Amino acid sequence: MGGAAARTGVELKLHADALTSLNTITAYGLGFVEINQVRYHGNLILTPDQPVQPWSAASFDAMLAEDLESLLTLRPEVILLGTGQRQRFPQPRLTRRITDARIGIEVMDTAAACRTYNVLMSEGRRVVAALLQE
């Protein structure tokens, strides 16, 4: 993804060089992620080519192994875990099935996960973003 990013308050808008039919994050801010110019609130799961889904994880502290294991059904190459306003690492027992399946999992704050998702998606990678919003 190339293009310009313009900061307006706590919101960041992302502008792709070309329009795409894939799910692209077009903006994000406190409490929302905008995908293809539609705002979503709450925790969500995002893939390039499937409808945006709410994510069962209630919060970082309440996250269960099942919340992460459910992402395996999407057959990702890599999972981006956006942990809210700051980067927090889940207990290894929560990610064990993902790593045992030899699927990469990258943990970062949700803003970084949004930016990284767009890069990987534009490269044609089979990426799943699991995004927690605070």
CATH of the domain at 108: 3.40.1230.10
Element (H, E) at 131: strand 127-132
Cβ neighbours for 124, distance < 8 A, ≥ 6 positions apart: none
- 35 found inside a domain: no
What is the pLDDT of the chain when averaged over all its residues? 89
pLDDT at 36: 96
For residue 28, is pLDDT > 80? yes
Nearest-angstrom CA–CA distance, 46 and 23 = 8
- 11 found inside a domain: no
- 71 found inside a domain: yes
Specify the pTM: 0.85
For residue 90, is pLDDT > 60? yes
pLDDT at 9: 42
Domain housing 47: 42-132
pLDDT digits (tens, 9 = 90+) for 35-87: 999 999 999 999 999 999 999 999 999 999 999 999 999 999 999 999 999 99
- 53 found inside a domain: yes
The number of folded domains in the chain is 1
